[in-house]
Amino acid sequence: MTPPSSPSPVFQVRAEVVANRQIGPGLYWIDLAAPEIVEHARPGHFVHLVVSDTTPESPCPVWMQYTPLLRRPFSIAEHDRARGTFSLIYRVVGGGTHILSTRRAGESLDVLGPLGQTFVPIQSGRPVVMIAGGVGIAPFFFLAQEAIQAGRARPQDMTVLFGAATASLLSGSDKFRAMGIDVSLATDDGTAGFHGFVTVLLEDLLRQNPSRCAYLYVCGPTPMMRRSAALAKEAGLLGQMSLEGIMPCGVGVCMACVVPCVRPPAGTVYERVCVSGPVFDLQEVILP
Ligand X SMILES: Cc1cc2nc3c(=O)[nH]c(=O)nc-3n(C[C@H](O)[C@H](O)[C@H](O)COP(=O)(O)OP(=O)(O)OC[C@H]3O[C@@H](n4cnc5c(N)ncnc54)[C@H](O)[C@@H]3O)c2cc1C
Ligand Y SMILES: Cc1cc2nc3c(=O)[nH]c(=O)nc-3n(C[C@H](O)[C@H](O)[C@H](O)COP(=O)(O)O)c2cc1C
**What are 132's strand-pairing partners?**
162, 219
**Among positions 26, 245, 248, 260, the unique one binding ligand X when judged by CB under 6 A:** 245
Q: Which stretch binds ligand FES (CB under 6 A): 153-161, 188-196, 235-243, 251-259?
A: 251-259
Q: Does 99 bind ligand Y (CB under 6 A)?
A: no
Per-residue interface string for the shown chain with other proteins, residues 213-252, x marking contact by CB under 8 A: --------------------------------xx-xxxxx
Phi, psi of 168 (to 5 degrees): -70, -15
Residue 254 contacts ligand Y per CB under 6 A? yes
What's the rounded Cα separation, in Å, for the pair 175 and 55? Answer: 34
| Contact call for residue 131 and other proteins (CB under 8 A) | no
Q: Could you say whether residue 78 binds other proteins (CB under 8 A)?
A: no
By the rule CB under 8 A, 256 interacts with other proteins: yes
The yes or no reply on residue 278 touching ligand X (CB under 6 A) is yes
Would you count residue 32 as binding ligand X (CB under 6 A)? no
Long-range contacts of 7-11 (CB under 8 A, 24+ apart): 8/40, 8/42, 8/45, 8/114, 9/40, 10/112, 10/113, 10/114, 10/115, 10/251, 11/36, 11/37, 11/40, 11/111, 11/112, 11/113
Q: Which is nearer to other proteins, 201 or 259 (CB)?
A: 259
Q: Tell me if 51 contacts other proteins by CB under 8 A.
A: no
238 near ligand Y (CB under 6 A): no
Distance between CA atoms of residues 114 and 178, nearest Å? 27
- The rounded Cα 234 to chain-centroid distance in angstroms is 25
What is the closest distance, in whole angstroms, from the C-beta atom of residue 282 to other proteins in the complex? 20
Instruction: Determine, following the binding rule CB under 6 A, whether residue 74 of this chain makes contact with ligand X.
Output: yes
Q: Does 66 bind other proteins (CB under 8 A)?
A: yes
Residues in CB range of 286: below 8 A, 6 or more apart: 259, 260, 261, 262, 268
Q: 186 pairs with which residues across the strands?
A: 163, 194
Chain residues binding ligand FES by CB under 6 A are 247-250, 252-257, 272, 274
